[in-house]
Structure 1
Amino acid sequence: MTTDLDALLTALYVHLDDHVLPSRERPPRRGPAPLLTDAELVCVAIAQVLLRYDSERHWIRAAHSRIGHLFPRLPGQSEYNRHLRALAPVLFEAALWLVRATPTWWERLRLMDGTPLRCGASRVTVNRSGLGEIAGYGRDASHHAFYWGAKLMLVTTADGAVAAFSLAHPKELDERKQALHLAHVQTLAPGPCPIVCDKGFAGAGVETAMAALGHVLIRPRRDDEPKPAVKVFPGWLRQRIEAVIWTLKNQLGLERHSARSTEGLWARVCQRICALNAAIWHNWLIGAPVKRSLIAYDH
């Protein structure tokens, strides 16, 4: 392992323990006390994602040799899985703190897009899976295919840090309704700002509702709309959030989440997004030229 990952985990643990999670008290429960604190478990979970261990079972086997010098007390595989599912609120809180600690949080620009999160490929999985509360049949317009899973909505800063995110049933909430719900329940930016999105968010209702919240949607023209006199849509910004989604799904393994319950799926989504925000936050700290680069932390 390189010293870059060591530096990231050390700095992250210090900030989480001192500023983000110092007042968080574990609820009383029976049984032995957990081996790791919340801050330590967040760091271990982020190290798993950055080192590209999709399976918790394989990660616990390798964790002693990869990060054992930083965290000598590591739980077993079943205890780690159980605590990781219960850690979702902490990972969510840490991810939002990390994006607010980056300079681009204060920029008046956001990128927004939704992406399907597949959870099964067979009828047996649909009938027997514990993901029925959040998963359903939807259509992936980008690949012209139907899928069974959930819809992940992301709002990011210009450098790719995730500022707000949510999971929704693809039939109960379409992209526009999910975006409005996300804007009402989470803070997208410190103040009103333009949001670059795709033509799937077109509609007078969603644009009026977003404008009432102070956010202006910037999107490409639909085929049934008149052509503007000047082409002003920044297509290169749309490609940036597509690259962020690719990073989450491929480099950080969100496409291979292997979740079997709603709690497990939400915990793995929070884990991947927290790892991405942690890498961007640390790249800002050390002055790395490419803020979304994970090369220094994946080996």
Structure 2
Amino acid sequence: MLPTEDLLVHTYVLIDDALITGAVHIPARPGPPPTCSDAEILTISVVRHLLHRRSEAAFRAELIHDHPGLFPHLPGQSQLNRRTRWLWGAFEQLRALLAATLPTDDAACHRDQVDTSALPVKHPSRVRGPDSWVGPAGLCARFGRDGAHGEWFYGFRLAVLTDLGSRLVRAWSIVPAAVNERQVALDLLADGPARRYLLCDKGFAGRAFAADLASVGTVVIVPPGKTARRSMPSGLLKVIAQWRNRVETTFGEITQVMDLARHGAHTFWGLLARTAATIAAHTLLRVQLTT
């Protein structure tokens, strides 16, 4: 990892170039241009996640104290939050731009994996005012089961499609807490290239799901149950376990190391912006480590 100031400059140049060339497009807004540019706002958020700084306010204070010359017109915390939420689509464009610099993992096989992870939020009964966990198309927070930790939670799920080799996030979505994971997988796969193999956990097992993907040439691989494991070669079981560990590592980096599990958002749109920024930062990190 570069020193903080070098990382800020490197990330700013990358983002500013993407805005200048139109690779990342931000719709025009009425009024005079802000003194702190969109490229600066995007840079601050991406680098905060790369440095694992959980608090937005503390990182803003760090920038003012340690790097005052880099962001001379840094807005106040509330305005910084509003502008970051408004730019969530730019984070996603940046992620797609970075991911496109690496080819899809193993062009001969197209091996990918799909999974979901809990995104808990505060229940409306614990905060003042109306329910703020309502997103587009009726998406709203609900109760769901977190199988990884064996507990119930209130909120959403983060669904991701990743390469097995590079562990790049190729597609993602925020979905209801109690969701049909097989339908989520089909939605994530809909707009991308055909995959030869798709590794999933046991929650995705189903004949109809496997048949749907088989019709487009994709083989679904699901970890075997206890009975099936007795008759499988130990070497194959080890390979499947190693593959499954890769998506768990990716989730760990996004939700724990980069602190998305403790996102601190107060509204759905704040959660969406933080998720998009975190995954863009993770993609930048994976691209730098891979190239």
Range of TM-score over shorter length: 0.7 to 0.9
Matches within 5 A, 1:42-191: 42-102=42-102, 105=105, 107=107, 108-120=110-122, 123-125=125-127, 128-132=130-134, 133-157=139-163, 158-171=165-178, 173-184=179-190, 186-187=191-192, 190-191=193-194
Task: Write out per-residue CA displacement over residues 44-93 of structure 1, whole angstroms, 9 at most, x where no aligned residue.
Answer: 11111223332322222222234444433322211110110011100011
Q: Does 1:204 align with 2:210?
A: no
Q: Distance in 1 between matches of 2:220 and 2:8?
A: 37
The alignment partner of 1:27 has SS state of: coil
On the 8 A contact 1:110/1:196 being kept in 2, the answer is yes
Q: Which moved more, 1:207-216 or 1:239-248?
A: 207-216
The alignment partner of 1:148 has SS state of: strand
On the 8 A contact 1:116/1:149 being kept in 2, the answer is yes
Task: Write out per-residue CA displacement over residues 2-51 of structure 1, whole angstroms, 9 at most, x where no aligned residue.
Answer: 84444444343333333466333532314x42233333322111111223
1:104, distance to aligned residue in structure 2 (A): 5.7
Matches within 5 A, 1:212-251: 212-223=215-226, 230=233, 232-233=236-237, 234-251=240-257
The alignment partner of 2:152 has SS state of: strand
TM-score, length-scaled by structure 2: 0.84
1:181, distance to aligned residue in structure 2 (A): 1.7
> Aligned pair in 2 of structure 1 residues 77, 140: CA closer, same or farther (>3 Å)?
same
Partner residue, 1:275: 281
On the 8 A contact 1:160/1:240 being kept in 2, the answer is yes
Q: Distance in 2 between matches of 1:126 and 1:225?
A: 51
On the 8 A contact 1:112/1:196 being kept in 2, the answer is yes
Q: Distance in 2 between matches of 1:257 and 1:205?
A: 36
Q: Distance in 2 between matches of 1:126 and 1:160?
A: 40
> Aligned pair in 2 of structure 1 residues 214, 35: CA closer, same or farther (>3 Å)?
farther
Partner residue, 1:297: none
Partner residue, 1:33: 33
> Aligned pair in 2 of structure 1 residues 277, 67: CA closer, same or farther (>3 Å)?
farther
> Aligned pair in 2 of structure 1 residues 60, 7: CA closer, same or farther (>3 Å)?
closer
Q: Which moved more, 1:118-127 or 1:144-153?
A: 118-127
Q: Does 1:256 align with 2:259?
A: no
Count residues with an aligned counterpart: 279
Q: Does 1:284 align with 2:290?
A: yes
Give the share of equivalent positions with the same residue, in percent: 27
Task: Write out per-residue CA displacement over residues 216-266 of structure 1, whole angstroms, 9 at most, x where no aligned residue.
Answer: 221112357696554635211101111111111111010111112111111
Q: Show structure 2 runs of 5+ residues with no match.
A: none
1:153, distance to aligned residue in structure 2 (A): 0.6
On the 8 A contact 1:8/1:282 being kept in 2, the answer is no
Q: Distance in 2 between matches of 1:147 and 1:154?
A: 19
| Cα-Cα RMSD | 2.7
On the 8 A contact 1:21/1:38 being kept in 2, the answer is no
TM-score, length-scaled by structure 1: 0.82
